[in-house]
């Protein structure tokens, strides 16, 4: 079993776009976000439709920013947290482009980049769009409680990011390049608290990161940043402990998109989460820093908690997964 794949032709991320809700647009990376919403309904009647529209906007603008047209794109590789990934489906309905739906919870964005990079690198497609979204209000009422109940949030909880991000991967052009990817396994640490996603995902993240270092014989010092998706404060600490036990110290390089996206204040507790979290941060702040060569080589590792409300109600624990891609400027 090999889990790391190399892309010899270094598929290039030639354009990106990000859309974010009002809360995310006033956080610490706000100046990098392309489309900032005043209203998280985005002119739609439901949160689900608003999420789908955010994803549509991110996809459309990323194609424009890449200097391409719809007809140049061979496939949309998209996913989100809604049941049957309807935000993606209904966004894809508006394009005359092939569609591959993917789902690995909040790890979906790097799953999409992995598949997209392979499709382009292997010569099967010329340009693909990889995009994901999430919405606080659609996620909250699907996974937890109706918002109207006003439930108290426990201190280990995270805040689902309202946002969408999209990358256009191309066989040629200027921009950061995807060098390799490590596919994650489903790792179950036995966490059953549906409010504690960080702990549930940390073991999957550690597994992927350790495999990555071993398989390509590298170490944390070879990267400017090791970026996790949405482990949050607690999950990040667990990840750092787990890899430290195996002889890797990532304290210096590690940042978490969930910690980056909000200004530190009280009500997100552990930080952001959601399939839109890593994709908003990558397709705004991180892409910009890679593009102007402030960062030369980063690992982007989105992390997912693979539960549903049914699996939780049926007493299942929450397995985690993480897919890592290495992006060079």
CA distance 131 to 60: 11
For a second copy, the binding residue among 42, 56, 103, 285 (CB under 8 A) is 103
Residue numbers 120-159 binding a second copy by CB under 8 A: 121-126, 142
22 binds a second copy (CB under 8 A): no
CA distance 209 to 212: 5
Kindly tell me the sign of the dihedral angle through the C-alpha atoms of 191, 197, 203, 207. positive
1 binds a second copy (CB under 8 A): yes
- Residues touching a second copy: how many (CB under 8 A)? 63
State the minimum distance, in angstroms, from the CB of residue 191 to a second copy. Answer: 13
For a second copy, the binding residue among 10, 60, 144, 185 (CB under 8 A) is 185
83 binds a second copy (CB under 8 A): yes
Q: What is the DSSP letter of 248?
A: -
Cα–Cα separations (whole angstroms), residue 110 to 33, 70, 77, 150, 290: 19, 23, 11, 33, 17
With a CB cutoff of 8 Å and minimum separation 6, the contacts of 169 are 11, 12, 13, 14, 113, 116, 117, 120, 127, 128, 129, 130, 178
Q: Which stretch binds a second copy (CB under 8 A): 24-32, 98-106, 129-137, 281-289?
A: 98-106
State the minimum distance, in angstroms, from the CB of residue 112 to a second copy. Answer: 10
For a second copy, the binding residue among 54, 58, 102, 327 (CB under 8 A) is 102
User: Is beta strand 127-134 parallel, antiparallel or unpaired with respect to 75-80?
Assistant: parallel
13 binds a second copy (CB under 8 A): no
Neighbours of 152 (CB within 10 A): 6
User: Which residues of this chain interact with a second copy, rule CB under 8 A?
Assistant: 1-3, 5, 45-46, 48-49, 70-75, 79, 81-86, 89-90, 92-93, 95-105, 111, 114-115, 118-119, 121-126, 142, 183-186, 188, 306-311, 314, 316, 319, 321
């Amino acid at each position: 079993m090999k889990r790391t794949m190399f892309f010899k032709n270094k598929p290039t991320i030639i354009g990106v776009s990000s859309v974010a809700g009002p809360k995310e647009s006033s956080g610490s990376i706000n100046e990098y976000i392309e489309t900032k919403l005043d209203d998280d309904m985005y002119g739609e009647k439901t949160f689900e439709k608003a999420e789908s529209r955010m994803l549509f906007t991110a996809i459309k603008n990323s194609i424009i920013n890449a200097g391409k047209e719809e007809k140049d794109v061979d496939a949309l590789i998209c996913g989100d947290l809604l049941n049957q990934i309807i935000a993606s489906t209904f966004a894809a309905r508006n394009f005359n482009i092939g569609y591959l739906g993917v789902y690995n919870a909040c790890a979906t964005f790097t799953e999409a980049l992995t598949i997209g990079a392979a499709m382009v690198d292997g010569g099967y497609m010329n340009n693909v769009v990889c995009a994901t979204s999430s919405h606080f209000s659609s996620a909250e009422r699907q996974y937890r409680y109706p918002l109207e109940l006003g439930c108290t949030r426990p201190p280990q909880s995270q805040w689902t990011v309202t946002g969408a991000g999209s990358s256009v991967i191309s066989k040629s052009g200027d921009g950061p390049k995807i060098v390799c990817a490590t596919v994650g396994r489903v790792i179950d640490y036995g966490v059953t608290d549906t409010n504690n996603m960080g702990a549930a995902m940390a073991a999957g993240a550690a597994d992927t990161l350790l495999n990555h270092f071993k398989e390509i014989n590298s170490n944390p010092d070879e990267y400017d940043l090791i970026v996790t998706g949405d482990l949050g404060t607690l999950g990040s600490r667990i990840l750092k402990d787990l890899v430290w036990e195996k002889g890797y110290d990532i304290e210096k390089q590690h940042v978490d998109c969930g910690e980056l996206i909000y200004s530190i204040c009280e009500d997100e507790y552990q930080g952001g989460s959601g399939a839109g979290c890593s994709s908003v941060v990558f397709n705004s702040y991180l892409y910009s820093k890679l593009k102007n060569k402030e960062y030369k080589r980063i690992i982007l590792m989105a992390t997912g908690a693979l539960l549903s409300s049914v699996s939780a109600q049926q007493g299942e624990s929450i397995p985690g997964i993480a897919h890592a891609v290495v992006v060079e400027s």
